Structure 1
Amino acid sequence: MTDSERDRQLEVVEICAGAGGQTLGLERAGFRHRVAVELDKNAAYTLQCNLQEVLGYSEQEATDAVAVGDVANPSVWTPTEHKDVDLLAGGVPCPPFSIAGKQLGANDERDLFAWAVKLCGEIRPKALLLENVRGLSANRFTAYRQHVLDRLHEYGYIGDWKLLHANKFGVSQLRPRFVLVALKREFAEYFEWPTPHEEAPPTVGELLEDLMASGGWDEDQVAAWVKKADGIAPTIVGGSKRHGGADLGPTRAKRAWADLGVDAMGVANGAPEKGWRAPEGVPGPKLTTAMVARIQGWHDIEPPEGSDSPAEGEFRWRFHGRKTSVYRQIGNAFPPPVAKALGVAIRKAIRQEGERQTLVENTDRVLDPVYKLLRGNSRALTIDQIIEKLAKTGTLLEQPDVERRLNHLGHDFTVTMTARSSGVIAYSLGEFKAFTGQDDHQRHHLFTQHRAKIS
């Protein structure tokens, strides 16, 4: 790679961009957006305004860079206009894989993960970055993940998954995200996952002390609250339009918030005023959207004038819309500091900086041996045959484990069961059920039917 190629501005196409958590992080890592596509109009407006107000885009550039609508609808944007872009990135919808949901995977009309992987094969970026919830790392989705890696290999990419925790990158929140990074081979040799920070992030009390005092709340009350809020936050849950108004998560999360002195039953319009006392049975004040944004990794504090380090103002952002919409925009976002750390690592790989790594060839990497075996066999196999064939490769599975894996496969793939003359059932693996752009896929009908409740 020539010096001029290394020095040029890297560009990114971002899908399912939301209100811009990943957008901001990638911009701070040195990427400029060709286009960011987002379904929700409020989030898209927030994104467009901040591209101009915070990131220095002209009004026309900001308008051109944000496409509003269903990312899989060809009338919203034209992916083929962005062939060979440096990076394709996105935070595709989480509900198909969320432990809090039904984990429908490929059968959920909101699942765009497989579609995004196929999109990678069509526009051929140098690198791919997709993030999702921890649930995608579960055993339930081993075949799904295997299919993704195999498909990326067919496209000429080396891919890997990693579970990253936001609190390891300066965010005061326990927010695990399951991340897929894939690069063309010549760049994959230079990729290293970002190194977690050695220092712990601020506690919730330390982080929010000034905001909690901004409404006039008594100093001694603020001090007592800061002392109680002596840990990091549980995962912020943005939710969707299918689930009521804004609150800070399910029952378990609410208990964790209560231990920090926070009432998680809603979001406040402002900080506590002078003389405010928590009612009986209430653990403390509610958070405002500004407080939630800080916990999510956004900073609203300007850097000191003349400072060489913009650390405090690096992740400034202003949200637009009503309170519930703003809360969802914040809660559903990828924390900007984590996105920046990943962006820096990917940028270095694309520029082929640092030491070349010896790639461990992972084309034969087996996440789900039953999936691999059935995918590679043209004839149906019984459970005993599956166990026997896997044993010859050194993989020892017992019948219950094979049955469990077959059950998981049936959720995301067509599994055909054929009764042999002996009455024993043989299994063969058919097509992947996920939406990858098919004109006749059920996703089109279900998406249209539920459009008003999808965010």
Structure 2
Amino acid sequence: MKESRFERLSCLAVCAGAGGLALGLEEAGFDPVLLLDNRAVACETLRLNRPQWNVLETDLLDFDPADHQATYDVDLLAAGLPRVKASAAVARENSTEEIRILDATIMLMHGVQPRALLIENVPDLVSKPAYEPIRARVTAELEHLGYRHHWFVLNAMDHGVPQDRKQGILVAFKGDCPDGFVPPAPDTDPSITVGEALGASMAARGWPSAAAWAAQADKVAPTLVGGSWNRGGADLGPTGSKRSWARMRVNGGTVADELPGPDFPWDPSLGTKGMVALTVDQAARLQGFPEDWSFAGRKTARYRQVGHASPPPVGRSLGLAIRAALARP
């Protein structure tokens, strides 16, 4: 764990998943008083990496902050919520699970009364007209509670993550807190490429083509997609993503059990069968997780956690921007 020079602030993390957002916020000086998730394997991952964290396996819809006094008046309520789908946004009845969880997070503000709120979701939630009824409902409730809010979109590739991953962000501040929030600015350094991020790991077992592969993998990764928890195996995303991976000579239709060894037959002329596949740990590096962060469960469950996570470096950037706003006189 990195040492922080900051005064430590408090955080309640809901829908915490594998801890990507909470880890980034920790680096920005926010310590969680409680983390919630409804998946046992995600809670196991959190406890595995941070035994000192207070982790509660429960559905957000069943959570009552009155039973957890430490959550009241925290500095930040943070939520990396399940992805709100476009079809849900235009549905006549907003009863999908994703929207119910978004609504539950906003209603949680009544009982928690945090100084600030951070919600991370799909960029369309911020930018597309089809989502305007959802934004309007959220805005009305926040204003009713006395919070000022900001909607914006950022891309993880602009914050040290080797992945083209746009994220929709909602940040809000209690009315008696300082104003003047400024979204985190993009890094001035060039984006990290897939080859730069994974070249060393590809060579770790003696694969002789690792350097050649890394040299041609000279772009950022497409958005990693965790996929459904209810069906299918692990792969790197939909058809468009698989085509992007194929251009970097990566088989995006599967996730490897191990890194390529000295005898791996890399021959892209054979199609995906002759391409290298990424491991779960390599996918985690493309999300910006540190090398010592472990994921519980079997391969598919581990990959699902990685793909659904919010990249920790983005969480750190957002955390620093939020605490800077909270510290203004």
**TM-score over 0.5 (shorter chain):** yes
Cα distance in 2, alignment partners of residues 222 and 247 from structure 1: 21
Q: Deviations over 1:237-265 (max 9, x none)?
A: 01121331110000001001111111001
1:281–1:8 Cα change, 3 Å? closer
Question: Match of 1:330?
Answer: 306
Q: Give the Cα–Cα distance (whole angstroms) in 2 for the partners of residues 102 and 160 of structure 1.
A: 20
How many Å separate the matches in 1 of 2:121 and 2:154?
10
Is the Cα contact below 8 Å between 2:236 and 2:254 reproduced in 1?
yes
Aligned-partner Cα distance in 2 for 1:24–1:250: 27
2:128 counterpart of 1:129 = no
Separation of aligned partners in 2, 1:156 and 1:132: 23
Partner Cα distance (1:103, 1:326) in 2: 32
SS where residue 202 of structure 1 aligns?
coil
Alpha-carbon distance in structure 2 between the residues aligned to 1:228 and 1:130: 36
The aligned residue for residue 257 of structure 2 is: 269
CA-CA distance at 1:291 after TM superposition: 0.6
| CA deviation map 1:35-78 (0-9, x unaligned) | 000111111111112113xxxx3xxxx3xx10002122147983
State the SS of the aligned residue for 2:12: strand
Measured at CA, do residues 162 and 234 of structure 1 come closer, stay the same or move farther in structure 2, by a change above 3 Å?
A: same
**What secondary structure sits across from 1:198 in the alignment?**
coil
Structure 2 unmatched ranges of 5 or more? 1-5
Instruction: Quote the residue 1:251 is aligned against.
Output: 239
- Letter aligned with residue 33 of structure 2: R
Deviation at 1:170, TM superposition (A): 0.7
1:398 maps to which residue? none
For the residues of structure 1 that align with 2:177 and 2:143, how far apart are their CA atoms? 14
- Paired AA for residue 32 in structure 1: D
Correspondence 1:211 to 2:197: no
In the aligned structure 2, how far is the partner of 1:350 from the partner of 1:249?
A: 38
Confirm whether residue 148 of structure 1 aligns to residue 138 of structure 2. Answer: yes
Within the alignment, does 1:299 sit opposite 2:299 as a pair?
no
CA RMSD for the aligned pairs? Answer: 2.0
Does the Cα contact within 8 Å between 2:66 and 2:111 map onto a contact in 1? Answer: no
Q: Is residue 156 of structure 2 the alignment partner of residue 157 of structure 1?
A: no
Conserved 8 A contact 1:157-1:185:
yes
Alignment CA distance shift 1:222-1:165 (3 Å)? same
- Give the aligned partner of residue 319 of structure 1: 295
What is the aligned partner in structure 2 of residue 38 from structure 1?
Answer: 37
**2:321 corresponds to:** 345
| Aligned counterparts of 1:204 and 1:262: Cα–Cα separation in 2 | 11
How many equivalent pairs are there? 318
Could you tell me whether the CA contact under 8 Å between 1:80 and 1:122 is conserved in 2?
Answer: no
Q: Which residue of 2 aligns with 1:173?
A: 163
Q: Matched residue of 2:62: which SS?
A: coil
Please state if 1:107 is matched with 2:95: yes
Given that 1:190 and 1:348 are in contact with CA atoms closer than 8 Å, whether structure 2 keeps it comes out as no
Q: Is the Cα–Cα contact under 8 Å of residues 228 and 260 in structure 1 kept in the other structure?
A: yes
Separation in 2 of the partners of 1:239 and 1:78?
33
Which residue, out of 219, 223, 232, partners 2:211? 223
Q: Does the 8 Å contact 2:74/2:115 carry over to 1?
A: yes
Structure 1 residue 149 displacement after superposition: 1.1
Q: Which residue of 1 aligns with 2:75?
A: 86
Distance 2:123 2:69 in 1: 31
* Displacement after TM superposition at 1:190 (Å): 3.4
The aligned residue for residue 18 of structure 1 is 17
Read off the aligned partner of 1:195 and give its amino acid letter: A
CA distance in 2, matches of 1:321, 1:144: 35
1:360-399, Cα deviation, whole Å (9 max, x unpaired): xxxxxxxxxxxxxxxxxxxxxxxxxxxxxxxxxxxxxxxx
Which stretches in structure 1 are left out of the alignment for 5+ residues? Answer: 1-6, 301-315, 354-455
Q: Bigger CA drift: 101-110 or 135-144?
A: 101-110
Superposition deviation, residue 287 in structure 1: 0.1
Q: Distance in 1 between matches of 2:63 and 2:166?
A: 32
Q: TM-score, normalised by structure 2?
A: 0.91
Q: Could you say what secondary structure the match of 1:110 adopts?
A: helix
C-alpha separation in 1, matches of 2:89 and 2:151: 22
Describe the superposition over 1:177-200 as per-residue Cα deviations: whole angstroms up to 9, x where unpaired. Answer: 000000013435132111110112
Instruction: Give the letter aligned to residue 123 of structure 1.
Output: V
Runs of 4+ in 1 over 4 A off after TM superposition: 101-105
Deviation at 1:288, TM superposition (A): 0.4
Q: Which moved further from structure 2: 16-25 or 43-52? A: 43-52
Q: What is the aligned-residue identity percentage? A: 38
Aligned-residue offset at 1:80: 5.6
